[in-house]
Chains A and B, each alone.
Chain A
Amino acid sequence: MTNQKSFIFDTELRLVALTGIKVRSLQELRDELPRIPGSSIFFHTHQEYLAHDFQRSAHFNDFARWVSQALREEALAEKLAAIDLLAFTTIRELRDAIIATVDEYLNDLGRPSYECRPEEAFHFCRSRSFVLPTGIVADDVDDFFRQVASISNASLYFHFFEARLRLGRRTSDFSRWLNDRGRPDLAAAIDALNPYHRTLDELRCDIVQLGTNTGTPA
């Protein structure tokens, strides 16, 4: 989506695929975590950011929410919610961190883990993604900040959240392109934003604001 001159905005549309795998206890969750596809780990740690952007969630990921709501294991829910997604650049690292958190909790539990009611089971899903060009292209840095204000949340999500795991480094498509265009200051400022603590609308405003603050018209 980037070349030396223009920034080409893509978007990502996704279907939710069902794995047919469900768990009802912490031990069952632990047993499945190493086996489920990486796309399922990604789905359950990220889907909420696209599903709703009106408010930041208390749990940040599906695992934390389920552990809280179905198993009532609030302490573990807090630990799972506290996993810093920005700290990882691969799904493998993220998966290992989730497993380690569950393992530590199970080791200290000192009692059997609860089994939730059948209707509260955790169902593993994964997403199947389709990346399409939006037709929106920014020719220069000024134009880039103008266009960011109008792209869809799905496009913002693709270039910001997914890029890090796709590129395997702690940056976004935006920062990478701005760096290439000789604006490492703006690239660094965008990298400093924590997308996991903002709604997509807020994140968009933050980015547009960065362009405004540096004299780049939004």
Chain B
Amino acid sequence: MSAHLEDYRKIVGTQVIDELLLLADRVRHLRLQHINSTSVGGGVAEILTRMVPLLRDLGIDTTWDVIKGNQAFFAVTKAFHNALHGGEETITEEMFDVFRATTEMNLGELDNCGDVVVVHDPQPAGLIAKKPETGGRWLWRCHIDVSTPAPSVWGFLRDYVGQYDASIFSMPDFAQQLTIPQYMVPPSIDPLADKNRELPDDEVRAVVARHGLDPDRPILTQISRFDRLKDPLGVIRAYRMVRRRQDCQLLLAGGGATDDPEGAEVLREVREAAGNDPDIHVLELPPFSDLDINALVRGSTIVMQKSIKEGFGLTVTEALWKRKPVIGGAVGGIRLQLLNGLTGFLVHSPEGAANRAIELLGDPELCSALGSAGHKYVKDNFLTTRHIRDYLLLMLATEHDGTDLSLLTGGTA
């Protein structure tokens, strides 16, 4: 069920909601249109599902359109996605042709464009060809990690991106050499979603127990898909080092790996490394396990995200929001979220993770201090309301192209 804007007032405070209303007053005359490639599944759809009703609550005329594409098109865009992530993919000229043909088809069906059009990710990027006809301001919103993109695919995409009025990336590391303005809009979590909302303690304990863990003993947790880049084997090594000093259990939980051959392989390695240790719990969670994930994180003593490579790392955001002390790999967006020693600990090795875990298990006050600071940091920077504020500011920015609205922002003083 969609939450309403007023539901957030008690969470983020009156000032934040009032600022959104103040800002909305300035852009209410503009129609906002989002375009992406899927209405369900995936992070973008999840964000838009929550955000569009809230924008409408603010009185912004907001529409959300989804492009059409066949299996061949989405196979191509999946390959593009992997290549933009820096993965090794064979990209052929025929694949570019499939992309162009699907773009043409969607261009034919697109009408009634908004005054501000936000096109999400590479799949619909070619719709920019509509701009000369419809006018308006067009923004390309890139949700994926393009810090080291394959040159062939980025070169192809850049021809489209360069025609937009501005681009939006999630982190400074993803910025490109572009002639159009680039803005940073970090992703966000929704505090009222099932994955994040408050839960009663007894419900948390019940879920923890249902999954075979003892709610009365310390629990180290990593919630992540089974992927080598998340270093689950490093987490097991760290846990074993901790166990020499402190009693604890380890929970490694992630989505099912049945349709991901590499994920299944990693899961096998994780189970093998876990051996017959009864205190290592490896859980394959089915889709729609948001409430269980919420409870398992809330029932944890320490949350780890010991990634070797990471995009933004929303699992860290979610754990911080739940006031958990977090130990994270010093990579990607984890570095933006864990201010070392203030909102969590950054580590570079299983040994580093183990040392911090031992320190935290022996110091509940430190756990509490990190948890409180982390919660506040997320509240101020990474909740849905901030994400909405950034979109409203982008609308305002596109209407005042090149105009610096503060005396401080211009020139090379």
Contacts and interface: CB of A to CB of B under 8 A. Distances in A.
A39 B404 CA distance: 10
Interface in A46-102: 51-55, 57, 69, 90-92, 95
Interface string B378-411: 0011000000011001101100000011111111
A12 B184 contact: no
Given A125-B184, A128-B404, A38 B412 contact: yes
B377 interface: yes
Contacts of B224: none
A162 B175 contact: no
Given A18-B182, A38-B413, A119-B332, A129 B406 contact: yes
Contacts of B178: 20
A42 B408 contact: yes
A91 B413 contact: yes
Contacts of B22: 11, 132, 134-135
B236 to A, nearest CB: 24
Give the bracket for the number of chain B residues in contact with chain A: 35 or more
Contacts, number: 130
A39 B393 CA distance: 17
Contact of A123 (B173, B331, B404): B173
Contact of A132 (B23, B184, B372): B23
A20 B173 CA distance: 9
Interface in B327-379: 331-332, 339-340, 342-343, 372-373, 376-377
A18 B175 contact: yes
A154 interface: yes
A154 B184 CA distance: 19
Nearest to B20: A13
Contact of A130 (B182, B376, B396, B410): B396
B90 interface: no
B149 interface: no
A46 to B, nearest CB: 9
A15 B394 contact: yes
Contacts of B181: 17
Contacts of B176: 20
B172 interface: yes
Nearest to A48: B339
B184 A18 contact: yes
A130 B184 contact: no
A193 interface: no
B183 A131 contact: no
Contact of A11 (B19, B182, B380): B19
Contact of B389 (A13, A118, A153): A13
Contacts of A118: 148
A113 interface: no
A126 interface: yes
B90 to A, nearest CB: 25
Given A17-B183, A92-B413, A134-B22, A123 B175 contact: yes
- Which 4 residue pairs of A and B lie closest in terms of their CB atoms, listed nearest first? A129-B406, A38-B413, A123-B172, A18-B175
Interface of A: 11-20, 22, 35-39, 42, 51-55, 57, 69, 90-92, 95, 118-119, 121, 123, 125-132, 134-135, 151-154, 162, 165-166
23 contacts: A12-B406, A15-B183, A15-B185, A18-B183, A38-B408, A38-B410, A38-B413, A53-B380, A54-B377, A55-B373, A57-B339, A91-B413, A92-B413, A119-B147, A121-B173, A125-B172, A126-B409, A128-B393, A128-B406, A131-B405, A134-B22, A151-B15, A165-B408
Given A13-B19, A17-B184, A128-B393, 10 more contacts: A11-B22, A15-B185, A17-B183, A20-B176, A35-B412, A38-B412, A128-B404, A131-B405, A131-B406, A166-B408
